Amino acid sequence: MTSSSRPTSRRTVLTAFAAAATAGAPLLGQLAAAAPAAAAADPGEYASNTALYKDPALVEGTSYGRRFKRHPAADSDLTAKAAYPRTAILALHGGGIEIGTSELALGIAGYDPGAVTAPALLPATYDYFLFEGLLSTGNKALHVTSRNCDDHVALSLAASHLNVLSLHGCQYDQLGMPEPMVWPPSSDPRLAVVGGLNAEFRAALVREIGAAGIPVVDAFDSRYLDRLQDFNGSHVTNPCNLTMLRRGAQIEMTTELRQSLFGDSSSRSRRAATWDASGGRFEAFRDACRRAIATVEATQPIL
């Protein structure tokens, strides 16, 4: 989820470390200078990734983890132009924070979520960044609102790509959608909400996800605009919009939708092991997003 208040008890040192982060957090060169100032953190959340990383109660590798991949790219030929990565996939609240977003990000990037170190599963691959909650319980305390993300790798990936697709989780009742949007044939409120400032990317995602039989809405659709303003990914410091084009896309997925993408969604290990045991739903969502990316990239030659 990109912006909502999340109550948590893990706040005893938050104020001091948030102040320290504001006063002395390292800058990411021109990227940090170009990005607008971050908004105030939601109550009960870490003010930034810097504040979270400085919390002595948290240990990287035990409390949380980070994974990323940049694919090699080089051009040493003066007469020919080599391909260059144009799209990155982000899961800023992965692991146990917003379940399923890490695995889906890896799938869209072209990898087997259960065997990331193995060769790519699909022919086209995308760079990716994952921040993942690793706690046995209470992972929601690790949530940092997207607009306040200052992780250097995440921001550098966004700044070096034309497109970012950022994946998030939400609860259906947070969206304020009308009850008839509980979709048949299931009684579960499975819904994808597509946001971000790249209207063409949003349109491609809505079209492809809908064609895959997955309930989806555009957060900027006039019918839902007022209801979904907290889920539309429009903030200028949201990493999905800190691309070379200063616009990108994100998908908010309800809990029920994310759970439906796995044979067993109960834990990180079970999700990684059962992404291909969902009756094809994971693959349908993954491939819909990849088709949308391909459609957008086809109009974006590298100059």
Chain segment 42-55, per-residue pLDDT in tens: 667 999 999 999 99
How large a percentage of the chain has pLDDT more than 90?
78
Half-sphere exposure of 32 (CA within 13 A, CB side): 12
How large a percentage of the chain has pLDDT more than 70?
83
Q: What is the mean pLDDT of the chain?
A: 87
Burial class (CB in 10 A: 0-12, 13-18, 19+), 264: middle
The model's pTM is: 0.86
pLDDT at 301: 85
104-148 pLDDT, tens digit each: 999 999 999 999 999 999 999 999 999 999 999 999 999 999 999
12-43 pLDDT, tens digit each: 333 333 333 333 333 334 433 444 444 555 66
CA distances from 287 to 59, 72, 124, 266 (A): 35, 23, 11, 23
Residue 9 has pLDDT above 50, yes or no: no
Of 81, 72, 10, residue with least CA distance to 46: 10
Reported as a pLDDT band with limits 50, 70 and 90, residue 184 is low
